[in-house]
Chains A and B, each alone.
Chain A
Amino acid sequence: MPRRPSRRTQFLAVVRKETLQTARDKRMLVMLLGGPLLQLLVFGYAVDFKVDRVPTVVVDGDQTSESREHARGLMADGTLRWVKGGKSEDGGGSRNGRRSSSSANVAPPPVTPSVGATSGSPGAEGPAPLDRLGVSGAGPMPVAEADAALVNGDAAAAIILPKGFSRDLARGETAHVQVVIDGTDPNRATVAGAAVAGYFAEVSGDLLRARLAQQATRPATASGGISLVPRIWFNPGLDSPPFMIPGVMAMLVIIVTTIVTAMGLAREREMGTLEQVLVTPIRPSVLLLGKLLPYVVIGFLDVALALAIGAYVFDLPIRGSRALLAAATFVYLLSTLGVGLLISTISKTQQQAFLGGFLFAMPAILLSGVMTPIRSMPLWLQAVTYLNPLRYYVEVLRANLLKGAGWSDLWTQLVALLVFGVGILFVATMRFRKRAV
């Protein structure tokens, strides 16, 4: 009988057993491989940060060819979509269409003054019904219906061109346009309001130059001023998938590795097999290493799968070094596995382990910049995210995949992940040893 069993033999025995068990469990395989696939596809297709085709009603009190021209012009770039009485008409521009960099969605937020447009909000009084805005509407869409459309949610913006609109313009007087925007979705409201203001600013500017040229008091060419030429780097179309998929990858890894590891160990404790294993000369560290190794492999597999799907289905670019990706994935896995291990040491049953892992993963995902920017969080919460390994991994993924960032750019994130990973694994292993059976 061997006096001191070799650690290598023990380690291999554990790895072999774990692999066999995982391979036999159909449900597990589905969750480990099929789940990510499904999530990627759903997230990739469902999530669209781009704001376009905002349903808009136009109350054309003027009913002239000019006013109709303006109505069409507003919908031209696809940000707004004309809705009338439930029917909708595409103003042009497809949802997934790539935009050229020069016509990027630009807009001022409603509160900043811009040429030819003033804005204000009734603010404290609460929302003002349209008819109180002093608009007497006549024409195809009565004002009340426009209001109802906003309230119903059929439209998110209403543009009112009053009677005499084009006549005022022709006469060289100031014409008035009124816009009401549904503020419940602030992001959408900002973009829609900006699109409207931007359009009318351009119209106004052109008109002004024309009028001045007519008056010939000053040379029209001496306009000077600045023009801003925007260029969008790395993701010219501002498509959402390149932004989302790194986040989804981080999500997948944490769900699969943390929850499954936690449950696996809790299961051994629940079934009593852990006791049987601990009575053998296997050292706890060898046991843990052997148990975690298959999940490292699975984690890498899932990442590779996600990258493949991302690239093939969603045109995800892979601009940076793959070695960096692998290294980042590895240190990230250290953290997620460590957390899974930690959770298993405080759980008596598989179910507790699952709930623990789940309740950790949910906030970790939502507070990592995956779906909403960390920048938008209050400072105290931003500080908390410094403790979230997902945050760093997502940063590395986005920078590496989309921007081609390299080791020297991302070393801080890698170090942070390493420190976390090692730290958490250490604490978890200590706890595991203590708890023994």
Chain B
Amino acid sequence: MNPVSRFFTRIGAMAAKETLHIRRDPRTLYLALVMPVVLLLVFGYGVSFDTDHLPIAVVDLDQSSESRELVRGFTASGELEVAARPANAEEAERLVQRGEVLGVLTVPAGAGRDLLRGTAVELQLAVDGADGVIANQLLSKSEALARALNVKLSPLDGVAPPLEVRVWTRFNPSLKSAFFFVPGLTAYLLAIAAVLLTALAIAGEWERGSMEQLFASPVSGIEIILGKLLPYLALGCLQMLLVLAFGTWAFDVPILGSLPLLFLAGMLFLVGMLGQGLLISVVTRNQLVATQAGAFSSLLPSLLLSGFVFPIENMPRVLQWLSHVIPARYLVNALRGLMLKGVGLEAIWGDLVALTIFAVAVLGISTARFRRKLA
């Protein structure tokens, strides 16, 4: 047998052994296949910024039929809901402190009279600023409702407006949060599962002592690494398939772009993350430390610095630079582009290159560190 075919034979043997290990260990399969899907469903439903029926308190100091009509105008559409009608401002503030309402709409005394006379009425809207996202939404919706009310009340109703603005929403017309989150979630879950899986792989062998046996055989470091990587890569692809299938089915997320490109991006990402896990287990030689290091090195970066939830361009420069070494960032970008916008290779080739570089670098370092001696 020539060296090349020997190379492949040895890798094949290692991969076969590893596959047996995986098949026999139900925990690994659970971690790889069940957990990501479960988490996908849970997070897909749980992680969202869509809000409706925001509860507010109304302090009606006028108590006239006009003021009541005014309040009804605000709440008719259902976006705001009157959860309480406290008698005064102090009571209202207590409600906000307790978190029972998100804002307080105050109608001043004499509002009804002013409306009939044609004088401007000032409504106060106090918003709970603790939750920035919700506060923003409450403000937006209230302003819009106020504007709509003004149109109805205004004597200018019916006159042709001087300016007409038409707004189109491209790529996610119904503005569903799931569209935004599912691609990122996919990357996040794959990252964690991949790193954890391989962190268990080699470090476990160190501890079990079977690594010593391997060293006594003619298998070289790179062969061991590739042999271990392949079954997990296959598992990872299966995982990606499952996660994408469930994600698109359960949340109606489209895949407008080319599927092969999608899988290429996913595979490159997987190789990089699996490689990261391998590197960790090669360096730490301790299964427990490898698991911890793996979890933390994939958790925070993939969550925060990948653009999954929080946009990268709003972060301080330092973190933006840091995100360049996080493979999840590139996959999230590529997935969003491929799935939601239907872009082609020209848009994501940069991401693919970055993923490839990361994968090669990580595997290279692993092999270099994997000295074929025991110490």
Contact = CB atoms under 8 A, between A and B. Distances in A.
Given A53-B314, A373-B49, A198 B143 contact: yes
A84 interface: no
Given A46-B315, A238-B136, A372-B46, A193 B167 contact: yes
Interface of A: 27, 31, 35, 39, 42-43, 45-53, 55, 95, 104-110, 112-123, 126-128, 133, 150-153, 169, 172-191, 193-194, 196-198, 200-201, 203-204, 207-208, 211-212, 218, 222-236, 238-240, 242-243, 263, 350-352, 354-355, 358-359, 362-363, 366-367, 371-373, 375-378, 381, 395, 398-399, 402-406, 409-410
B22 interface: no
Contacts of B51: 373, 375-376
B347 A108 contact: no
Contact of A204 (B46, B48, B163, B314): B163
Contacts of A212: 156, 159
Interface of B: 27, 31, 35, 39, 42-43, 45-51, 54, 70, 77, 94, 96-99, 115, 117-137, 139-151, 153-156, 159-177, 179-180, 196, 200, 256, 287-289, 291-292, 295-296, 299-300, 304-305, 309-311, 313-316, 318-319, 333, 336-337, 340-341, 343, 347
Contacts of A200: 163, 165
Nearest to A403: B97
Nearest to A376: B48
Contacts of B180: 184-187
A207 B315 CA distance: 38
In the A-B complex, the 9 residue pairs with the closest CB atoms: A108-B144, A183-B172, A235-B129, A186-B175, A106-B143, A119-B167, A204-B163, A224-B118, A116-B161
Nearest to A236: B129
A254 to B, nearest CB: 13
Given A226-B123, A373-B51, A409 B94 contact: yes
User: Which one of B124, B168, B304, B309 has the greatest number of beta carbons of chain A within 10 Å?
Assistant: B168
A226 B146 contact: yes
A222 to B, nearest CB: 5
A125 B300 CA distance: 38
16 contacts: A48-B315, A55-B313, A113-B148, A115-B150, A117-B165, A127-B171, A127-B173, A179-B167, A208-B156, A218-B155, A224-B154, A226-B70, A232-B139, A375-B134, A399-B99, A405-B98
B151 A197 contact: no
Nearest to B340: A184
Contacts of A381: 42, 45-46
A351 B288 contact: yes
B333 A240 contact: no
A239 to B, nearest CB: 7
A323 to B, nearest CB: 17
A224 B120 contact: yes
Contacts of B172: 183-184, 186, 189
B150 A179 contact: no
Given A372-B46, A372-B48, A121 B168 contact: yes
A231 B149 contact: no
Given A104-B127, A119-B167, A358-B295, 6 more contacts: A108-B140, A119-B166, A177-B163, A189-B175, A208-B156, A377-B46
B144 A109 contact: yes
B134 A373 contact: yes
Contacts of B134: 373, 375
B167 A231 contact: no
A226 B153 contact: yes
Contacts of B42: 363, 366-367, 381
A118 to B, nearest CB: 6
B37 to A, nearest CB: 13
Nearest to A206: B162
